[in-house]
Structure 1
Amino acid sequence: MRNMNRPSHLPRWIAVATGLICCSTALLNVHAQRPGGRRGAPTVDEPFVGITTSNGPQKDLFSIESTGVTTEPVRVAADAFLAGLTDQQRERTVFPVDDTEWRKWDNRHSPKRQGVGFDEMTEAQRTLAFEMLQQSLSAKGLKKTKDIMKLNGTLGELAKKPQEYNEWLYWITVMGKPSETEPWGWQLDGHHVVINYFVLGDQVVMSPVFMGSEPVEAKQGKFAGTIVMQDEQDKGLNLIKLLSEGQRSEAIIMNRKDGNNNLTEAYKDNVVLDYAGIVGSKLDETQKGALLQLIEEYVGNMREGHAKVRMSEVKQHLDETYFAWIGGTTDQSVYYYRVHSPVVLIEFDHQRRVAPFRTSEPTRDHIHTVIRTPNGNDYGKDILRQHYESHSH
Structure 2
Amino acid sequence: MLFSTLIPGAILAPNAFPQNASTMAEAFRRRSAEAESKGLADPFKGITANGAIEPGLYDLHSTGVSTAPVRTAVERFLASLTNEQRGRTMFPVDDPEWRKWMNQHFYVRQGVSFQEMSGTQRDAAFGVLETALSARGLKLTRDIMRLNETLAELSDDHDFLGEWRYHITVMGKPSATEPWGFQLDGHHIIINYFVLGDQVVMTPFFAGSEPVTATSGKYKGISILQDEQQRGLELLLHLDRTQQAKAILNPEKTKNYNLTEAFRDNIVLDYAGARAASFSQPQRRQLLELVDLYVGNMDEGHAKVRMDEVKRHIERTAFAWIGGSDDASVYYYRIHSPVILIEFDHQQPANLRKFAKDPNMPTRQHIHCVVRTPNGNDYGKDLLRQHYLSHAHA
- Partners in 2 of 1:331 and 1:288 — Cα distance? 22
- 1:273 counterpart residue number: 269
CA contact (8 A) 2:210 2:352 kept: no
Q: Extract unaligned runs of 5+ from structure 2.
A: 1-8, 10-31
Aligned to 2:377: 377
Give the letter aligned to residue 81 of structure 2.
Answer: L
Partner-residue secondary structure (3-state), 1:232: helix
- Pairing of 1:235-274 with structure 2 (within 5 A): 235-274=231-270
Matches within 5 A, 1:1-393: 41-42=35-36, 43-54=39-50, 56-357=52-353, 359-393=359-393
* CA–CA distance in structure 2, aligned partners of residues 96 and 217 of structure 1: 38
Q: Deviations over 1:252-298 (max 9, x none)?
A: 00000010000000000000000000111010011101000010000
TM-superposed deviation, 1:168: 0.4
TM-score by length of structure 1 reads: 0.89
- Matched residue of 1:363: which SS? coil
State the shift of 1:164 in Å.
1.6
User: Match of 1:194, SS?
Assistant: strand
Structure 1 residue matching 2:353: 3-state secondary structure = coil
Deviations 1:50-91 (A, max 9, x none): 000115110010000000000000000000000000000000
Note the C-alpha offset of 1:356. Answer: 2.7
Distance 2:40 2:290 in 1: 31
**For 1:364, what is the secondary structure of its paired residue?**
coil
Structure 2 counterpart of 1:221, which letter? G
Q: How many Å separate the matches in 2 of 1:164 and 1:192?
A: 13
Q: Deviations over 1:3-55 (max 9, x none)?
A: xxxxxxxxxxxxxxxxxxxxxx9xxxxxxxxxxxx9x9332121100000115
Distance 2:160 2:83 in 1: 27
How far apart are 1:111 and its partner, in Å? 1.1
Q: Which moved more, 1:66-75 or 1:351-360?
A: 351-360
Query: 2:41 & 2:172 partners in 1: Cα distance?
Result: 21
SS at match of 1:224: coil
**Structure 1 vs Structure 2 CA RMSD:** 1.2
- Distance across 1 between alignment mates of 2:188 and 2:317: 26
TM-score normalised by length of structure 2: 0.89
Write the distance in 2 (CA, Å) between the matches of 1:45 and 1:259: 27
- Confirm or deny: 8 A CA contact 2:51 2:268 kept in the other structure: no
Q: Which residue of 2 aligns with 1:12?
A: none
**Aligned partner letter, 1:327:** G
| Aligned amino acid, residue 85 of structure 1 | L
Question: Which amino acid counterpart does residue 228 of structure 1 have in structure 2?
Answer: I
How many pairs are equivalent? 356
Contact 2:252–2:323 (Cα < 8 Å) also in 1:
yes
Matched to 2:54, the amino acid is Q
Q: Which runs of 4+ in 1 moved over 4 A?
A: none
Could you tell me how far 1:351 is from its partner in structure 2?
0.3
Q: Distance in 2 between matches of 1:382 and 1:391?
A: 14
Match of 1:16 in 2: none
Percent same amino acid among aligned pairs?
A: 58
Offset of 1:162 from its aligned partner?
A: 1.1
Report the residue type matching 1:371 in the other structure.
V
Deviations 1:335-379 (A, max 9, x none): 000000000000000000011326100000000000000000000
Aligned equivalents of 1:215, 1:74: Cα separation in 2: 31
Q: Which runs of 5+ in 1 are unaligned?
A: 1-24, 26-37
The CA distance in 2 between the partners of 1:346 and 1:52, in whole Å, is 14
For 1:268 and 1:110, how far apart are their aligned partners in 2? 19
SS at match of 1:339: strand
- Of the structure 1 ranges 48-57 and 249-258, higher mean CA displacement relative to structure 2 is found in 48-57
Pairwise CA distance, 1:245: 1.0
